[in-house]
Amino acid sequence: MHAHVSLITLAVADLERALRFYRDGLGWRTKGIVGKEFEHGAVVFFDLAGGLKLALWPRESLAFESGLPTGDASRPTFSLGHNVGSEAEVDAIVSESARAGGTVLKPAEKTFWGGYAAYVQDPDGHLWEIAFNPAMVPSNDATSK
């Protein structure tokens, strides 16, 4: 297994406002808001150095997708993404994470965007998306476990 973070998702209150800040304020390039055709799908992606991606996603959408309630203090404000090479790897990592003290919030399942993903919280409550995204298959240049 290769240790890497492939995606950081920031939960935002206003997607258009956040897009303007990162695109116009920081000068980062993006295709803009994509996924509007899906319920809870509107998201903005930025390519960062080293193959890392930053996503901006409405808070309500991240809460819905992860299974966390939107109204309490545990409402998600960001998630880290660990994209792996297959659905089987997602299942294995989710299982190992649970055995190691993590909490599976949402078991792995097919996603509306054509992938396969689960949400897990680490023992301190940090939110991780464990995913297979066929459009973002990771390279094997990261440090192995």
Does residue 97 contact residue 90 with C-beta atoms inside 8 Å? no
42 is written with which tokens? 């509107």
How far is residue 35's CA from residue 61's CA, in Å, rounded to a whole number? Answer: 12
Task: Name the DSSP letter for residue 126.
Answer: -
How far is residue 97's CA from residue 128's CA, in Å, rounded to a whole number? Answer: 10
Report in angstroms the alpha-carbon separations of 96 from 78, 90, 103, 106: 22, 10, 11, 15
- The ranges assigned to domains in the chain are 7-136
Does residue 140 contact residue 83 with C-beta atoms inside 8 Å? no
Does residue 118 contact residue 111 with C-beta atoms inside 8 Å? no
| pLDDT tens for the chain, residues 1 to 145 | 677 788 898 888 889 988 988 888 767 899 999 999 999 999 999 998 888 998 989 988 988 888 877 765 556 678 888 888 999 999 999 999 898 888 899 999 999 989 999 998 887 577 889 999 998 877 654 433 3
136 is written with which tokens? 């973002």
* Assigned CATH class of 7-136: alpha beta
How far is residue 43's CA from residue 56's CA, in Å, rounded to a whole number? Answer: 6
What pTM does this model have?
0.64
Rg (alpha carbons) of the chain, rounded to whole number: 15
